[in-house]
Amino acid sequence: NAGVMQNPRHLVRRRGQEARLRCSPMKGHSHVYWYRQLPEEGLKFMVYLQKENIIDESGMPKERFSAEFPKEGPSILRIQQVVRGDSAAYFCASSGTGGAFFGQGTRLTVV
């Protein structure tokens, strides 16, 4: 049973480009969460999704950020027109019953 898979592990984008981060939850998990971790800080919740539905996006910036979890395929976190301040580690977690399991993260660097 593979864990939560995130790709890419590292992503470099120039300012103004788009970043797409992918997350495949653990088998049997239907809840996906995205978090952002800035250097020297903890994890900040961004968005919680179930299949085809956004349940809670209270932690996600209103502009440039979007997330989806389609019926088929991975969850996608999309950042449009990236800025330097978007540089961070983005973690995805999935849960079924009991505990949220995290992927290895995608480290986004905006140059």
Partner 1 sequence: GEDVEQSLFLSVREGDSSVINCTYTDSSSTYLYWYKQEPGAGLQLLTYIFSNMDMKQDQRLTVLLNKKDKHLSLRIADTQTGDSAIYFCAESIEGGSYIPTFGRGTSLIVHP
The residue (of 14 and 53) whose beta carbon lies closer to partner 1 is 53
For 55: left if phi > 0, alpha if psi spans -120 to 50, otherwise beta; the answer is: alpha
3-state SS assignment for residue 96 = coil
Tell me, residue by residue from 42 to 81, as one string, x for binding to partner 1 by CB under 8 A and - for no binding.
xxxx--x------xx-------------------------
The CA-atom distances, in angstroms, between 99 and each of 18, 28, 42, 95 are 32, 13, 18, 6
> Binder to partner 1 among 23, 33, 88, 94 (CB under 8 A)?
33
Q: How far is CA 79 from CA 20, 89, 91, 101, 110, in A?
A: 7, 13, 14, 23, 11
- The correct pick among 91, 94, 108, 110 for binding partner 1 (CB under 8 A) is 91
Does 83 contact partner 1 by CB under 8 A? no
Instruction: Return residues touching partner 1 (CB under 8 A).
Output: 6, 31, 33, 35, 41-45, 48, 55-56, 91, 93, 95, 98-105
